[in-house]
Amino acid sequence: MLNQATLAALMAGDHSDPFSILGMHQVDGKLTVRALMPGAVNVALVEIKTDRQLVSLERIEGSDIFTAVVPRRKNPFPYRLRIDWGSHQQELEDPYRFPPILGEMDVWLLAEGTHIRPYEKLGAHLTEMEGVSGVSFAVWAPNARRVSVVGSFNNWDGRRHMMRLRRECGIWEIFVPHLAAGDLYKLEIKGQDGSLHLKADPFAFRSELRPNTASVVQPIAPVYPSTPERRQANSLQSPISVYEVHLGSWRLVPDDGCRWLTYRELAEQLIPYVKDLGFTHIELLPVSEHPFDGSWGYQPTGMYAPTSRFGTPDEFRQFVETAHANGIGVLLDWVPGHFPTDAHGLARFDGTHLYEHSDPREGFHQDWNTLIYNYGRKEVANYLIGNGLYWIERFGIDGLRVDAVASMLYRDYSRKEGEWIPNQYGGRENLEAIEFLRRVNGIVHTQRSEATTMAEESTSFPGVSRPVEQGGLGFSFKWNMGWMHDTLKYMQEDPVHRRYHHDQMTFGLVYAFSENFILPLSHDEVVHGKGSILSRMPGDEWQRFANLRAYYGFMWGHPGKKLLFMGSEFGQYAEWNANSSLDWHLLEYPVHSGVQRLIRDLNAVYRHFPALHQLDSEPRGFEWISHDDRDNSVFSFIRRADDGDFIVVVSNFTPVPRHAYRIGVPQEGNYREIINTDNNVYGGSGVGNGMLRANPVGSHGRSWSLEMTIPPLATIMLKLEP
């Protein structure tokens, strides 16, 4: 007989080891079976092999626990429970008759925090045990008093499927027979203080559409094949021109309540659009499940679940496959820097500060009202590192753009004196975060060598995109935030004043090859009152568009990979509004369609001529012709390829055409304009040169030179004819 304390604990859902009591056990030499069945009238034991009812279980008085001694049996055997619910009968497999789920090696690696693919073991997995199909559940909650799987399959009753604790690693597990894909579930966690927490599964592969927050049983996606083509497309020497997109507001369907496009519709509309404009990659604002639309995905609660806003995980994978079939790589904004405080998420997951720091000086982002991961806790780091690999390995994501790296690197990020805790050496660097980032990059690059990683990092932290073995963080690329801020500030100046700010356009070349840079004009630059890129350009209507086109030409000529946020490619007037569609109607006007055509042509020449991309990260790929013509606000430089082929780039950032302007060039021959942002087809004034012949007249330290007309507020690119 069970004592009253054990009965009370089981009935209250407060027993930490239900597997030691429930199910089939040898007790005092007798084979005994026990089942906790709230609401049942009668329970009987059925032998699976013979399909015979062997014994009826008796209810223990004052409880919903049924028990019986199995007659004439000594050894455990497979069985089912035949349950009379009063209104109907049902036969169920008893989850407490099945063995542990995790193997010894998995337990070892998970406890050590070195399991490269924790998502293959933790979470919910469709599986078969002892010939029975169902779902295995496993969750890390080492400080919980009790953990249960709840859902409609057990009336959300935490007493029905209390899990087994693997004390070696702090993971709770259970196999629930008969569950299938599409079933909803959550984890009911009782803390040591008796508090109940109803949580979504941190490793759930699918989630309900907000505002609902349950996890959904979903088959894990198969491993996505690696190809030499993807590896080449993501290399340092390849053209990388990125179109950054927020899927919820790129284009809405006006005839259907202005709803979002689905993943399938995005594959049909967005991918051809990106391909037509010549972008090599598309970067998605975070698609990990998130509760609040207004966070744009940057406050995720379901790191392993593509958001259900646009469809299923399978449909998201098909979106990626469509992109690849069209030669487009897919990059994903990835957020390991912080997470929201929503009750169903990771905050105080097992009743303690498990994923986050307990001290708000370490564990709370004041800027975003979010929590900070405890990177020093090996299981937390393993959860995140596995997630980065998961997106690449299971969905074919080509690269991770890691969000808010600067906030991760420094303990005093956006904090006043006394609001942060120094590291063990008294410094401001977050040593645990630095080690975490190195591990992420190391594992991603060794496990999937075709993948790339990109850091949104705005400080002077050294070696962000240098190998770990050389003391770097190991990223493939770093966003060049300094270039972005300097050049945008310059472009906002009235042309008559630009001579006094000339260095803002040249300073980026002082450090251009210290990292592998991406030049970003991202979503952050077109929100929160900053206006659109076009709206920052000075002058009348014509000058604003001319400035924009000249700026884009300068950007595509400048060393560094390119990134442009959606809407900027056709000169949207208004700043980005995540709640509405882009202003596609503007393309009816030539000035806007002209900007779009320029982007298409810039991408075409960028991809076609290795001089514009091959040596982006090497000093030998760039050479100034003139960087000091402040009075005319003219910049001229040479971009070179590995074989010595070159492109000449000249920008004039005043509305005055510069006639008979001479620049030195490397060699004699005919030079053809391959880009002129003042071309009529782009909405310009049509001032240009067509073909130019180099003369043996010395200029800028060279024996040959070109005499040209530089159009007003324009960038031109010149190619030596063979």
- The pair phi, psi for residue 143, each rounded to 5°, is -100, 5
Q: Are 706 and 695 in contact (CB under 8 A)?
A: yes
What is the spatial distance between Cα 654 and Cα 656, in angstroms, rounded to a whole number?
5
Annotated catalytic residue: which of 403, 450, 486, 601? Answer: 403
Specify the DSSP element, H or E, that contains 128: strand 123-129
Pick the closest to residue 686 from 650, 712, 647, 660 (CA basis). Answer: 712
Active site residue 456: yes
> Strands 646-652, 714-720: parallel, antiparallel or unpaired by DSSP?
antiparallel
What are the residue ranges of helices labelled H in 116-239? 228-233
DSSP state of 163: P
Specify the DSSP element, H or E, that contains 435: helix 431-447
Q: At what angle do helices 590-608 and 263-277 cross, to 10 degrees?
A: 80
- Beta bridge partners of residue 401, listed in sequence order: 333, 454
What is the spatial distance between Cα 205 and Cα 202, in angstroms, rounded to a whole number?
9
CA 707-710-712 angle, 5° bins = 160
CA 711-717-718 angle, 5° bins = 105
In angstroms, what is the C-alpha Rg of the chain?
31
> Strands 399-402, 452-455: parallel, antiparallel or unpaired by DSSP?
parallel
Going from the C-alpha of 706 to that of each of 541, 552, 629, 672, 703, the distances in angstroms are: 32, 23, 16, 11, 11
Annotated catalytic residue: which of 173, 289, 350, 456? Answer: 456
What is the spatial distance between Cα 34 and Cα 21, in angstroms, rounded to a whole number?
7
Neighbours of 521 (CB within 10 A): 21
Active site residue 403: yes
- Beta bridge partners of residue 124, listed in sequence order: 137
What is the spatial distance between Cα 560 and Cα 105, in angstroms, rounded to a whole number?
44
What is the spatial distance between Cα 92 and Cα 185, in angstroms, rounded to a whole number?
18
Burial class (CB in 10 A: 0-12, 13-18, 19+), 273: middle
What is the spatial distance between Cα 672 and Cα 605, in angstroms, rounded to a whole number?
13
Q: Are 249 and 527 in contact (CB under 8 A)?
A: no
Pick the closest to residue 197 from 154, 155, 153, 158 (CA basis). Answer: 158
- Beta bridge partners of residue 624, listed in sequence order: 637
Neighbours of 610 (CB within 10 A): 19
Say how far residue 89 (Cα) sits from the centre of its chain: 47
Token couple for 70 = 């199995």
Pick the closest to residue 715 from 592, 593, 580, 612 (CA basis). Answer: 612
State the maximum Cα–Cα separation within the chain, in Å, rounded to a whole number: 109
Going from the C-alpha of 501 to that of each of 72, 273, 628, 630, 713, the distances in angstroms are: 95, 37, 11, 8, 16
Looking up tokens 């782009």 gives 682
Looking up tokens 């000091």 gives 628
Pick the closest to residue 98 from 59, 30, 48, 51 (CA basis). Answer: 48
Token couple for 528 = 């929160």
What is the spatial distance between Cα 400 and Cα 392, in angstroms, rounded to a whole number?
8
CA 7-19-355 angle, 5° bins = 105
- The pair phi, psi for residue 193, each rounded to 5°, is -90, 5
- Active site amino acids: 403, 456
